[in-house]
Amino acid sequence: MPNYTLWISARKDSGSAWFLGALAAIAVIVPVLNLAVPAASPFHVSAFGLTLVGKYLCYALLALSVDLIWGYCGILSLGHAAFFSLGGYAIGMYLMRQIGSRGVYGNPELPDFMVFLNYKSLPWFWHGFNHFAFALLMMIVVPAVLAFAFGWFAFRSRVTGVYLSIITQALTYALMLAFFRNDMGFGGNNGFTDFKDILGFDLHSDKVRVTLLVFTAVVLGASYLACRAIVASRAGRVMRAIRDAESRARFLGYRVESFKLWIFVFSAVLAGIAGALYVPQIGIINPSEFSPINSIEVVIWVAVGGRGTLYGAAAGALLVNYAKTYFTSTIPEAWYYALGTLFVLVTLFLPRGIVGLVTGRARKRKTATRPAVPAETPEPSRK
């Protein structure tokens, strides 16, 4: 049972307050600017703007899930894009079934790519996806099961540090290769696209986009509160102990593997939900979402924003993706420079991220460079 008194208490977590406040503001202002303000006005937010903000919020949720396990438990997962994409594919399958006979080949049962690949009937794993509830269930269950299976073996074998990170990469890479295969039944390289509607509502209408955006903001807020609750609870303390000195925590009698496993599964579910919210807004899901580089980018968002602060991760996601959108439009030929330099500078000079800069703690840490003598005994360093 999470200890609510701890997190409501006089820790006066104003960072959270401001984050949630900003989130609420966005959830209200942006829809209003789209629906209420006329199109000609400079304050109007077009459908493009709605999609963009929605995308940022989904990414913020994904960054949140990574920060939860990395910042608070020391598990660096370089494969979270896998869970994100699995959630996305789950909702994508539902949306594909919804197209029905409005597809290119007019087949009410089979999506276009199956007709074209000469499938005679729907593969077994597609059954049930014409029900929204089932898709909702799958988008939670599938990432959870995968995370559980993976984590069970990995944590039990005490795979840590960079080895763990690399095998999470191997996992997402293998999934990417698998989903790229046209024979798998997931649309191959083209993925799923050309969605028509969700729950009967047209995906392209502004009202639906607004609803999705608000819903994403609400889910983000709720997830944030949930993460806060976990982190502030006793379990959260144990996790921080694991992060700081795993062997010590184990010797103190805590079942380190179980803690790691459950937080990993929870984080995977969050990532899956983020993916499921992402796909209806973007309109396409494709196996390149599984690519290892995407996962590394998520970690970068968290690092840029500030690891171990939760709202920092969300802020980092927003900032970096905004920078990417901005640079690919304004300096399309040289935006790699801009982004690369940003990463190098942030890692070098802002080890606590943007949030650290803003809260002034970064200044104290900036002068600390390589320790002259590496510790013989494991020091409480953050991995």
Residues 146-165 binding another protein (CB under 8 A) are 150, 153-154, 156-163, 165
Q: Answer yes or no whether residue 370 interacts with another protein by CB under 8 A.
A: yes
Q: Kindly state the smallest distance separating residue 275's Cβ from another protein, in Å.
A: 12
CB of 238 to another protein, least distance (A): 21
The mark string for 111-150 relative to another protein (x by CB under 8 A, - otherwise) is: -xx-xxxx-------------------------------x
Crossing angle for the helix pair 234-244 and 256-282, to the nearest 10 degrees: 100
Distance CA 96, CA 112 (A): 9
Nearer to another protein, 67 or 289 (CB): 289
Does 283 help bind another protein (rule: CB under 8 A)?
yes
| Of the candidates 34, 93, 35, 88, the residue with the CA atom closest to the CA atom of residue 61 | 88
> Closest approach of Cβ 56 to another protein, in Å?
7
> Which residue in 125, 201, 251, 322 binds another protein (CB under 8 A)?
322
Task: Pick left, alpha or beta for residue 3 (phi over 0 → left; psi -120 to 50 → alpha; otherwise beta).
Answer: beta
Residue 141 belongs to what H/E stretch? helix 132-156
Q: Shortest distance, CB of residue 173 to another protein, whole angstroms?
A: 6
Among 87, 103, 111, 280, which residue sits at the site for another protein (rule: CB under 8 A)? Answer: 103
Name which of 253 and 374 has its Cβ closer to another protein: 374
239 binds another protein (CB under 8 A): no
CA distances to 92, 171, 215, 282, 340 from 80, in Å: 18, 10, 22, 19, 21
Position among 61, 238, 300, 320 found at the interface with another protein (CB under 8 A):
300
Q: Count the site residues for another protein by CB under 8 A.
A: 124
User: Mask of contacts with another protein, 35-74, x by CB under 8 A?
Assistant: ----xxxxxxxxxxx-xxx-xx------------------
**CB of 192 closer than 8 Å to CB of 93:** yes
Q: How far from 166 is each of 27, 77, 179, 198, 340, CA to CA, in Å?
A: 37, 8, 20, 37, 22
**Binding piece for another protein, criterion CB under 8 A, among 18-26, 223-231, 234-242, 248-256:** 18-26
3-state SS of the chain: helix, strand, coil percent to 5?
70, 0, 25
- Tell me which residue of 123, 87, 142, 102 sits closest to 274, measured CA to CA: 87
Q: Closer CB to another protein, residue 158 or residue 255? A: 158
Beta pairing, strands 284-285 & 197-198: unpaired
Decide: is 258 part of the binding site for another protein (CB under 8 A): no
Residues 343-362 within binding reach of another protein (CB under 8 A): 343-344, 347-348, 351, 355, 358-360
Decide if residue 375 touches another protein (CB under 8 A).
yes
Among 136, 166, 226, 229, binds another protein (CB under 8 A): 166
Residue 71's Cα: distance from chain center in Å?
A: 14
Q: How far is the CB of 202 from another protein (least distance, A)?
A: 9
Among 4, 8, 9, 21, contact with another protein (rule: CB under 8 A): 21
What whole-number distance in Å separates Cα of residue 35 and Cα of residue 174?
43
Nearest alpha-carbon partner for 317 in 307, 329, 327: 307
Burial profile 124-139: b = 16 or more Cβ within 10 angstroms, e = fewer:
eebeebbebebbeebb
Give Cβ neighbours of residue 29 (< 8 Å, ≥ 6 apart): none
Task: In angstroms, give the least distance from the CB of 13 to another protein.
Answer: 8
